Amino acid sequence: MTFFPKPIFAICLLLGSYTCFASAQAEDNLQFSGFARVVMGYLDDSNAEYLGYDNSISLDQETLIGLQADYQLSDSFSITGQLIGHSGEQRDSGIEWLYLTYTPTNSLRLKLGRQRTPFLNYSDVIDVGYSYPWATLPQQTYPRHFFSTFDGLTASYEIPNKLFVLNIEGYWGYFEDKVVVAEREMNANTTAFHGVISNIIYKNWTLRASYHQGNTSVELDELTQFSDLLNQIGFRESAESLATQGLTEVVQFSVNYENLDYFVRAEVNRIQADIVFVPNTDGYFISTGYNFHPFTSYISYAKNTTEYDQPANDIPVGLSPQLDGLAFSYLDIFNQLPIDSSEAFTIGTRWDIQPSLALKAEANLIKGSSTDTAFFAFNNPDFDREAVLYLLALEWVF
């Protein structure tokens, strides 16, 4: 994770630090809070791994601890910082949030600095497992390769009404960090990153719709050099198909219904990108549960389909060994792209042991086509792309 901010992030930090020094007041202006989770997982198949879990008991994939500090500088200004320590290798530990909040009215709120990227319904609380019933959010709709934070400005406006509450939020910023896409770790940079989110609360219903867009580029030197070679030789279509920069778009919609006895929650999203290693993905999940305090039992179904742009065919085959080798190298790039279409059936129970402490037990049946990778990592070609992931999670907030 990048710890040295760019100008907009530095302005937030300096302004917040200066105001904090200038207006230091009573200790009750400063509040600390935190959250933690210990997640134990086991995959019932020795031929594969799923999101780092294999057929041995593991505690180091999604276990984490987070600490947050909120300082009220004045009636209108506050500063928030959040530090997270991850046990998994795919996410770095460090500063997750650091932003200044300005609330000029009860309805309008502005935030400047490093913030959670509000792609999906549970993006803000994805690390706070206590806040949702499941042991983990489904990979089919909450892919781990999403960049989780951005540096920029967010404005939200709330419109209360006797019948409903409407909240509209917009943001603008940039992202720069390492991401893992198609089993490759690479440096990514997204500029002109912006989006709009609307939330409507009506009685027991909550609806959310959002749209996000940015210009993303990734660093893949070998691919860039090969693309330049194809362009120089004259195979422009093939060269353009190996894009490492382009537009990224995310569209999302979710609906939740909840009362004291049961809940129904569903979400759908679509991800489109003009980068060769990022597939176009459609995903959704639906879950229902029954509350019988202090227990909640639930079932869920999640599914996603992914597809890549088709390779170009402007490199002739059969004319010379050199061109055949070039065509083979080009097509091999597409043949190695993982197809992660899959579905997951989940059943689980949550036990609220006491306020702020919960224990969850969950079983996930993961299935994929025999021709796809379905988020599995495996070496045995006979693996049938089907396994059960068992999870036991202890969640608490403090």
DSSP 210-260: EEEEEEEEE--HHHHHHHHHHHHHT-HHHHHHT-SEEEEEEEEEEEEEE-S
- The whole-angstrom separation of Cα 188 and Cα 115 is 17
Task: Check pLDDT > 80 for residue 12.
Answer: no
DSSP character at residue 311: P
Predicted local confidence at residue 18, as pLDDT: 40
The mean pLDDT of 28-38, rounded to a whole number, is 95
Quick check: helix, strand or coil at residue 394?
Answer: strand
- The whole-angstrom separation of Cα 48 and Cα 50 is 7
Predicted local confidence at residue 183, as pLDDT: 66
- The larger pLDDT score, comparing residue 287 to residue 273, is at 287
Residue whose C-alpha is closest to residue 150's, from 126, 181, 172, 127:
172
Task: Check pLDDT > 50 for residue 124.
Answer: yes
Predicted local confidence at residue 222, as pLDDT: 87
Quick check: helix, strand or coil at residue 28?
Answer: helix
The mean pLDDT of 128-154, rounded to a whole number, is 90
Residue whose C-alpha is closest to residue 142's, from 280, 271, 28, 293:
271
Going from the C-alpha of 61 to that of each of 90, 136, 302, the distances in angstroms are 9, 11, 21
Task: Check pLDDT > 60 for residue 6.
Answer: no
The mean pLDDT of 352-380, rounded to a whole number, is 96
Task: Check pLDDT > 70 for residue 7.
Answer: no
Amino acid at 183: E
Reported as a single tens digit per residue, the pLDDT across 61-108 is 999 999 999 999 999 999 999 999 988 776 778 899 999 999 999 999
What residue has token string 């209108």? 76
- The larger pLDDT score, comparing residue 309 to residue 303, is at 303
Q: Which residues of 249-287 are buried (b: 16+ CB within 10 A; e: fewer)?
A: ebbbbbbbeeeeeebebbbebebbbbbbbbbebbbbbeb
- The tokens for 81 are 């910082």
Predicted local confidence at residue 182, as pLDDT: 62
CA torsion 308→172→118→70, rounded to 10°? Answer: 150
Q: Is there a contact between 308 and 337 (Cβ–Cβ < 8 Å)?
A: yes
Quick one: fold of 31-397? Porin (2.40.160)
Phi, psi of 366 (to 5 degrees): -105, 130
Going from the C-alpha of 258 to that of each of 202, 206, 261, 287, 289, the distances in angstroms are 11, 9, 8, 11, 9
Task: Check pLDDT > 80 for residue 23.
Answer: no
**What is the domain partition of the chain in residue ranges?**
31-397
Predicted local confidence at residue 306, as pLDDT: 94
Beta-strand (E) ranges in 73-164? 77-86, 94-102, 108-116, 149-160
Going from the C-alpha of 356 to that of each of 33, 129, 360, 396, 398, the distances in angstroms are 12, 11, 13, 5, 7
- The whole-angstrom separation of Cα 12 and Cα 173 is 13
- The whole-angstrom separation of Cα 376 and Cα 366 is 9
Count Cβ atoms below 10 Å from residue 196 Cβ, excluding itself: 14
Q: Mean pLDDT score of the chain, rounded to an integer?
A: 90
The mean pLDDT of 108-133, rounded to a whole number, is 95
Torsion sign, CA atoms 380, 383, 385, 388? negative
Predicted local confidence at residue 381, as pLDDT: 87
- The tokens for 297 are 């039992």
187 strand-pairing partners: 178
Reported as a single tens digit per residue, the pLDDT across 34-57 is 999 999 999 999 999 999 999 999
Predicted local confidence at residue 147, as pLDDT: 63
- The whole-angstrom separation of Cα 349 and Cα 31 is 32
- The whole-angstrom separation of Cα 199 and Cα 251 is 14
By mean pLDDT, which of 76-90, 122-136, 158-172, 282-296 is the weakest?
76-90
Please, which residues have CB within 8 angstroms of residue 138's CB and are 6 or more apart in sequence?
A: 285, 300, 302, 344, 346
- The larger pLDDT score, comparing residue 381 to residue 67, is at 67
Query: Where does the pLDDT of residue 19 fall: very low under 50, low under 70, confident under 90, or very high at 90 and above?
Result: very low
The mean pLDDT of 150-160, rounded to a whole number, is 96
Task: Check pLDDT > 90 for residue 305.
Answer: yes
Q: How far apart are the first and last CA of the chain?
A: 25
Residue 374 Ramachandran class (φ > 0 left, ψ -120 to 50 alpha, else beta):
left
Asked if the peptide bond before residue 294 counts as cis, ω within 30 degrees of 0, the response is: yes
What residue has token string 């083979």? 328
% of the chain with per-residue pLDDT over 70? 91
